[in-house]
């Protein structure tokens, strides 16, 4: 057989091989990117869950009474709250009553669910419209799918957990830097004294929620 004949009988190289290699390479890169993203999400979630570990429960003091189920605060937030309570006590002779403290994602979801059921405007209540909208979408989606209360709350909590994993928080209660103060039976003079006590503490924001379904005074500490 001549050299020319041998060359003619030799199988031609398929152009599909490089394409297959390219496809495999793209798939490998995609898998790697997804793996990196998953690892990043896992790290963020672990960080979120670890937040709050080591923070001790704040108990009642001479100047305030804690009835909240859990009141864990960062050291800075704790110091601010204690100073506000002391000022208020010095001015009125009465203790502040702390009704709300730190929350889990599910606890936050349950609270927001109740507010939505009562027809409250969450966009006006919370500072982060974008985060609130995502949570409301889960609420409305659950309603459209015919889910019950627990199913909708779970869907809302899942959104909140995803937000927390990315260091995004719809409420300062999720960050251990907020407390709710009882406003029931607080006179106008006492309320004015409370406002003065808060204004004397730099970095604290007071949100008046006395006109909501669960009246209270919210402190961003």
**Tens digits of per-residue pLDDT, 4-55?**
444 334 444 444 434 445 445 544 554 444 444 445 434 443 454 456 667 9
Mean pLDDT over 187-216 rounds to 95
Structure tokens at 91: 């001015």
CA dist 102 and 176 (Å) reads: 5
8-state DSSP, 221: -
Is the pTM value of this prediction over 0.95? no
Of the candidates 155, 158, 204, 209, the residue with the CA atom closest to the CA atom of residue 181: 209
The pLDDT of residue 161 is above 60: yes
Read out DSSP for 146-210? Answer: T--HHHHHHHHHHHHHHHHHTT--S-GGGGT-EEEE--TT--HHHHHHHHHHHHTSTT-EEEEET
SS3 content of the chain, % helix, strand, coil (to 5): 55, 10, 30
Q: Name the residue with higher pLDDT: 11 or 181.
A: 181
- HSE toward the beta carbon, residue 53, CA cutoff 13 A: 6
Neighbour-count burial for 45-83, b at 16+ CB within 10 Å, e otherwise? eeebeebbeebeebeeeebbbbebebbbbeeebbebbbe
**Topology of domain 57-102+176-221, CATH:** 3.30.980
Mean pLDDT over 52-78 rounds to 94
Structure tokens at 31: 């898998």
The pLDDT of residue 215 is above 60: yes
Dihedral of the alpha carbons of 16, 22, 26, 31, in degrees to the nearest 10: 80
Read out DSSP for 140-157? Answer: HHHHHTT--HHHHHHHHH
Q: For all residues of the chain together, what is the average pLDDT?
A: 84
β-pairing verdict for 205-209 and 178-181: unpaired
């Amino acid at each position: 057989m001549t050299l020319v004949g041998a060359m003619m009988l030799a199988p031609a190289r398929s152009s599909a091989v490089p394409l297959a290699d390219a496809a495999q390479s793209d798939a490998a890169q995609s898998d790697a990117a997804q793996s990196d993203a998953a690892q990043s999400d896992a790290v963020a979630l672990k960080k979120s869950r670890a937040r709050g570990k080591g923070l001790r429960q704040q108990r009642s003091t001479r100047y305030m009474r804690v009835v909240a189920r859990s009141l864990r605060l960062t050291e800075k937030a704790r110091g601010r709250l204690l100073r506000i309570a002391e000022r208020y006590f010095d001015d009125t002779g009465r203790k502040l009553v702390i009704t709300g403290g730190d929350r889990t994602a599910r606890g936050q979801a349950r609270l927001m669910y109740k507010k939505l059921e009562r027809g409250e405007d969450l966009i006006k209540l919370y500072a982060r419209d974008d985060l609130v909208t995502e949570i409301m979408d889960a609420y409305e989606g659950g309603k459209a799918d015919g889910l019950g209360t627990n199913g909708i709350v779970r869907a809302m909590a899942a959104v909140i957990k995803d937000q927390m994993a990315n260091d995004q928080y719809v409420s300062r209660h999720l960050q251990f830097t907020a407390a709710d103060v009882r406003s029931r039976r607080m006179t106008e003079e006492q309320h004015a004294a409370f406002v003065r006590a808060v204004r004397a503490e730099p970095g604290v924001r007071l949100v008046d929620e006395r006109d909501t379904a669960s009246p209270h005074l919210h402190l961003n500490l």
